[in-house]
Homo-oligomer: A and B are copies of this chain.
Amino acid sequence: MTLQWVSHESLVENHLIDADGTVDKVKVKELGEYPLVARLCERLQQVFGVDKRVLVGLGDDAAVLEINGVRLILTIDTQLENAHFRSKWMPAFDLGWKAVAISVSDVVAMGGKPIAALLGLGLTGEEPVAFVDEFYEGAISLCQSTGALLLGGDTVRSPIGLMVSSVVIGVVEGEPIQRKGAEVGDAIIMTGFAGEAAAGFWILEQGVNDLVSSPLLQRCVERFRRPKPRTNALQALRSFPVHAAIDISDGLVIDLQRMATASKVQITLDLTQIPISQSLKEAAKIVGRDASSLALTGGEDYELLISVSPSVAGEFRQALEEVGIPAHQIGFVSATHPNGEVVGKSPNGTVSALHGGFQHF
């Protein structure tokens, strides 16, 4: 889920709403995604937040609910044609794969083991039956690779285009890892390489057609179309005293900002330490974009950002690498900060606030 907790006070401070809370007539696209979600969080917290069964409510990657001693992680994600993908370049198999993958990633980011998935699929009716078969084969493959069961779902007619909702249920033993909890001094570890998925999106959107000859470009496209949630990071996530984690869905900086906000800290990124893959360099050139910008703001990487005590950071990275997950320290938690902040330290030593990433509205 792409949700963020923002206090009513900070919305007022930032002139996003009036002090008396009257935004009723403002349009959703004018208010923007985060203030919108913040209002919902506040309302739901007010009504249901007191219930002891809710261990983690809105404002994290997923919700955590305790039922008869079992701690369930629940998350829902929706993808829509022409908002998240185009049918001309998104094969049915990949659509099914990705729908489940992005929800599994949310469960993993909270330290949970994915157990089962449900899908809601909206079809125009014009699709060949083979499209539906391939969609489900993609979802089945992803489930099998992560140990989750595909329980099925709902199929409806969607005159307005393809639509997929995915729900993943996981189980967490002990405390779920949240966005909040990052401590001053912590190392910020990132798995894998950010920006490749966004580069892949632009390759597809621009119709770059020498893909066959370039495995580097193909890699970016694959990263976008078939993201692999980091389920094999779970062992390391649970055996080290991880303070906070989040997955990169909307962009490295924006998702790190969410961790900073939830943890009320300032995070300093060392811009010289953000790993830029050969694939990203090559793809960025082809699509005419800056590789570093794609890495910082691209989104849809479904890599993990983890805040961990500096005393175990080296060992933690090694544990990830031992299961085949590249891991880099890209920054550290530099100070406490009431609203949370992400700053970048340039090669020349200057430090400035970072922004940018995907917002739905």
Contacts and interface: CB of A to CB of B under 8 A. Distances in A.
Contacts of A67: 70, 72, 115, 171
17 contacts: A1-B152, A3-B154, A3-B155, A27-B126, A36-B132, A39-B129, A40-B136, A40-B155, A48-B143, A58-B151, A63-B116, A78-B120, A80-B156, A82-B160, A120-B120, A157-B360, A163-B163
Contact of A39 (B28, B133, B144, B156): B133
Which size bracket describes the interface of A in this complex?
35 or more
Interface string A201-243: 0000000000000000000000000000000000000000000
A41 B151 CA distance: 9
Interface centre among A25, A48, A51, A58 (most CB of B within 10 A): A48
A63 B33 contact: no
Contact of A78 (B127, B165, B171): B165
Interface of A: 1-3, 23-29, 31, 33, 36-37, 39-41, 43-44, 47-48, 51, 53-54, 57-58, 63, 65, 67-70, 72, 74-84, 115-116, 118-120, 122-133, 136, 140, 143-144, 149-161, 163, 165, 167, 169, 171, 360-361
Contacts of A122: 78, 80, 163
